[in-house]
Amino acid sequence: MDAEALQEGLLGYSARLEVAYNDPVQPGAFSGAMESMMAKIGHGCVDAGVTLIGHIKGMAEAGEQGFLAMSVTKNDASVNVKGGIEGVVSRVEITLNVIVYGLEEATVDDIVRGTIPQLGDAHVHLLNASDGEFECVDTECSCHDHEHHH
């Protein structure tokens, strides 16, 4: 595959998740849940026929409690983890960047949305960078007055 063909199939997908846990979770449980989510994104891309995983990166920021940086760079979807979070987690912001070759944005968006339940019992808002709108992932949400986009 030449460089021009690779460039043509390049997708850069970004999203931000605002996660509010209904009951605070232990930092180890959150770390495990996010690691599972990242692996599922990687496996989802492989299952969808990705040509190459460039970089799938997730950064979870929990304010003064710390951060977790996770990345997947291989088709085996192994997750590299850096950082740490101290104390129980009640709110966290996760920024996702998925740089892959050979998949459409809608496919990656569906994969990401499908992995959100891995995070556990939480209220999640998702901001897709392509449309710039936050939306509740929970279709039954009544947390604020807005329209859902499905």
Asked whether residue 104 is assigned to any structural domain, the reply reads yes
CA distance 27 to 68: 10
Is there a domain that residue 86 lies in? yes
**143 within some domain:** no
Does residue 145 sit within a domain? no
Whole-prediction pTM value? Answer: 0.86
Tell me the per-residue pLDDT of 53-96, one tens digit each, with 9 for 90 and over.
999 999 999 999 999 999 999 999 999 999 999 999 999 999 99
pLDDT digits (tens, 9 = 90+) for 94-145: 999 999 999 999 999 999 999 999 999 999 989 876 666 666 776 555 565 4
* pLDDT at site 9: 87
Domain for residue 141, yes or no? no
Residue 44 inside a domain? The answer is yes
Asked if the model's pLDDT at residue 1 lies above 70, the reply is no
Q: What is the pLDDT of residue 127?
A: 87
* Residue 142, strand partner residues: none
Q: Which domain holds residue 130?
A: 3-136
Which DSSP category does 116 fall into?
A: G
In a domain, 146, yes or no: no
Reduced to 3 DSSP states, what percent helix, strand and coil does the chain have, rounded to the nearest 5? 30, 40, 30
Say what the pLDDT of residue 62 is: 95
Residue 144 lies in a domain: no
Domain tally, the chain: 1
Q: Are 82 and 97 in contact (CB under 8 A)?
A: no
pLDDT of residue 144: 52
Which pLDDT score, from 0 to 100, does residue 89 have?
93
Q: Which CATH number do you get for residue 38?
A: 3.30.70.260
Q: Tell me which residue of 56, 63, 98 sits closest to 79, measured CA to CA.
A: 56
Summarize pLDDT for 5-43 with one digit per residue, the tens: 556 789 999 999 999 999 999 999 999 999 999 999 999
